Amino acid sequence: MTIVAILDTETTGVGSDDEPVSVGVIAVRVDERGALVEEIGRYEGWREPSVPIHPKAQAVHGLTIDDLRGKQFDILALKTLINAADVIVAHNASFDARMIGVIMKVKPKWRCSYRQFPWGSMADKKLDTVCKEFGVERPATHGAMNDAEALLACLLKHRGKTERSQTYLSTLLKQTAYNVQAPSKRPDRGATGGPRLVGSIVFPTGGEDKVAKTHPSKHSGMSMGKLFLIAIILLLPIIWLSDHNADRINYVLSGVFIALALWIIICHYRKARGSSRQ
């Protein structure tokens, strides 16, 4: 017999500074085939975050700061339920483990039903796709407990035609423990690249950025603008000290061309350097 905790979180966003606002956990006991023996317990809770909720995240779970004001997780109840399990299962375990780590430490080993996908070949690995394949209903607005229930229902489906066959949960449990500390291939909030997974939801690239702390192209432009200005300022004394107006004009034109040349060289250098890092 194995005790499995199915876990899902809803959060303020996907970045390293984001926090969980909702958690749903269902602890079950399963036999050697991965079939359900009994439900041990469940926990659903909400929490007021200390950071803003990103609009993209709010569109997924529908929770606002006003909905969460004054609410806190029952850490003792949550920890007791999770630590009673032998294994925690989540759809994108690295993300959920990081979010749970904001509020507590957990002891059990993890399995990731997204990275260690037990259902075979499908169009993609999103939980929505798995639910449609098995006819499991899932609300359009996601809640942590709703997602945990949907994931459990899909995992308890049998691989064969009879109830005596192995379940997909059994297939997942037979895999090695998932390293939730391993570097994620998806970019963090504010980065660019491919689509990124949030729990079991994919956010399109660039849509979930709050406000980037730095913007390379903007700052590069500012630096070059400053360089141009500094070059002109440095050349002004030379221009002023020249004896003839014609010499002054020549100095001005020379200064402009020198500054433009420096600007172009630095632009190409930054562009080449940025390409080499990708």
Cβ atoms within 10 Å of 2's Cβ, excluding its own: 16
Q: What angle do CA 207, 210, 213 make, to 5 degrees?
A: 120
Residues facing 93 on adjacent strands: none
Q: Are 43 and 24 in contact (CB under 8 A)?
A: yes
Q: Cα–Cα distance between 100 and 95 in angstroms, integer? A: 9
Residues facing 7 on adjacent strands: 25
Name the nearest CA neighbour of 24 among 64, 73, 63, 66.
73
Provide CB contacts within 8 A for 269, sequence distance 6+: none
Q: Is the pLDDT of residue 221 over 60?
A: no
pLDDT at 245: 59
Q: Is the pLDDT of residue 183 over 60?
A: no
Q: Is the pLDDT of residue 181 over 90?
A: no
Greater pLDDT, 148 or 256: 148
Provide CB contacts within 8 A for 258, sequence distance 6+: 231, 235
DSSP per position, the chain: -EEEEEEEEEES-SSTT--EEEEEEEEEEE-TT--EEEEEEEEEEE---SSPPPHHHHHHH---HHHHTT----HHHHHHHHHT-SEEEETTHHHHHHHHHTT----SEEEETTTT--S---S---HHHHHHHHT----SS--HHHHHHHHHHHHTSBSSSSTTSPBHHHHHHTSPPP-TTSPPSSPPTT--SS-EEETTEEEPTTTT----S--HHHHHHHHHHHHHHHHHHHHHHHHHH-SSHHHHHHHHHHHHHHHHHHHHHHHHHHHHHHHHH-
Task: Give 13-48 pLDDT, tens digit per residue.
Answer: 999 999 999 999 999 999 999 999 999 999 999 999
Residues facing 29 on adjacent strands: 3, 38
Q: Is the pLDDT of residue 121 over 70?
A: yes
pLDDT at 197: 43
Greater pLDDT, 25 or 188: 25
Percent of the chain with pLDDT over 90: 59
Q: Are 1 and 85 in contact (CB under 8 A)?
A: no
Task: Give 58-78 pLDDT, tens digit per residue.
Answer: 999 999 999 999 999 999 999
Q: Cα–Cα distance between 260 and 263 in angstroms, integer? A: 5
Instruction: Band the pLDDT of 234: cuts 50, 70, 90.
Output: low
Provide CB contacts within 8 A for 63, sequence distance 6+: 10, 21, 22, 46, 53
Token output for 132: 């449609």
